[in-house]
A = this chain, B = another copy of it.
Amino acid sequence: MKDLTPLDPLLHSQLRLAIVSLLMSLDSAEFTFLKEKTGATAGNISVQLDKLSTAGYIEITKSFKGKKPLTTCKITKVGLTAFEDYVKALKNYIE
C-alpha cells in the first residue's frame, strides 16, 4: 500500500524547494537571480541558503562582480542525492 516515508523537511519547504529546483536545472545561480525567480525577499533567501549550505546541499561562493559583492550557489552531490530521494518519496504521496 501507500508508503508515507517522511519527507526531508529541509527540502519540503516552498522556498528551499524552489531554490534547489532551480539549482537542479541550472547547476549554478547568483543570489539576485534566485531572488528574481522566486519572488522572495532577500532576507528570506539569505536564511534559506544558509540552511541548505549548512546541510551541505549547496555550496556558496562569495566573490565580486566588478565592485559589488556576488553570491553564487551550486548544488552539491549530497544535495542532488537528497533531492532525488525527496522526489522519490514525494511521488508515493501524489501518484
Contacts and interface: CB of A to CB of B under 8 A. Distances in A.
A87 interface: yes
A interface secondary structure, majority:
helix
Contact of A14 (B7, B22, B94): B7
A54 interface: no
Given A21-B93, A94-B87, A94-B90, A9 B2 contact: no
Size category of the A interface is 20 to 34
A83 to B, nearest CB: 8
A17 B87 contact: no
A22 B38 contact: no
Interface in A13-48: 14, 17-18, 21-22, 25, 37-39
